[in-house]
Chain A
Amino acid sequence: MSTARPTHKRLLVKLGLVVLAMFGFGFALVPIYDVICDITGLNGKTGALSAKQAEGMTVDEIRTITLEFLANLNQGLDWEFRPGVRKMQVHPGKLYSVSYHARNLTGHQMVGQAVPSVTPNTAAAYFSKTECFCFTQQSLAAGEGRDMPLTFIVNPDLPERIKTISLSYTFFDVTQTAKR
């Protein structure tokens, strides 16, 4: 009996550590996910850049990349949402501005949050925005429409094999969360 107790104590300590580690893992899951996405560019997460940093980039006039703009709405969001231009040719290192248009088709105020996604995934790390409507939540009154700006730059270090980048935004209804 006296030899069995220490073994149980050690096991209990180990199990306690596992429980503690699991608690920490659960708590840090979202930040860990964000960090991994930032490093690898997974999930099409794009980076933000200051206008000053963007100005410091060298423009590659020889190379041309095709950019496709897509707009999606999450289920249950009765909005009209479309890009100002569907496609454009850009030079890496040069700052461009486009706009997306959103209109609230419902009879009440709604708040939406746009989530970007870049395809191919590897291009996400080379696509940076200095200004984006996705940085903040967009509140639209009943029937209100708005042109929302997007200023971006494609990093000249973008791998040569990538000729086309698709930028897709999906608007999610966050009205309930925004009320809190």
Chain B
Amino acid sequence: MESEVTEQGSRRKGVMITVIVVITIALAFYVGAYLYLASV
């Protein structure tokens, strides 16, 4: 029971980290494009 809870928690943590990583990468692309457009 305890290991099931731990596994669920670690899976949730993994999903959260993946979401953060994807958002950060997308944000980096957006900021790059925005800065270029602002510079021209």
Which residues of A are interface residues toward B (Cβ below 8 A)?
Answer: 15, 18-20, 22-30
Contact = CB atoms under 8 A, between A and B. Distances in A.
Nearest to A26: B32
B25 to A, nearest CB: 5
Contact of A22 (B32, B34, B36, B37): B32
Nearest to A27: B32
Given A15-B21, A19-B25, A30 B36 contact: yes
B24 A24 contact: no
A30 B33 CA distance: 8
Contacts of B1: none
B28 A19 contact: yes
Contacts of B26: 22
What class of interface size applies to chain B in its complex with A? Answer: 10 to 19
A15 B21 CA distance: 8
A19 B24 contact: yes
Q: Which of B24, B30, B32, B33: most chain A Cβ within 10 A? A: B32
B5 interface: no
Contacts of A25: 29, 32
B28 A29 contact: no
25 contacts: A15-B21, A18-B25, A19-B24, A19-B28, A20-B28, A22-B25, A22-B26, A22-B32, A23-B28, A23-B31, A23-B32, A24-B32, A26-B28, A26-B31, A26-B34, A26-B36, A27-B33, A27-B35, A27-B36, A28-B36, A29-B32, A29-B33, A30-B36, A30-B37, A30-B40
The 10 residue pairs across chains A and B that have the minimum distance between CB atoms: A26-B32, A27-B32, A26-B29, A26-B33, A23-B32, A23-B28, A22-B28, A19-B28, A22-B29, A27-B36
B23 to A, nearest CB: 11
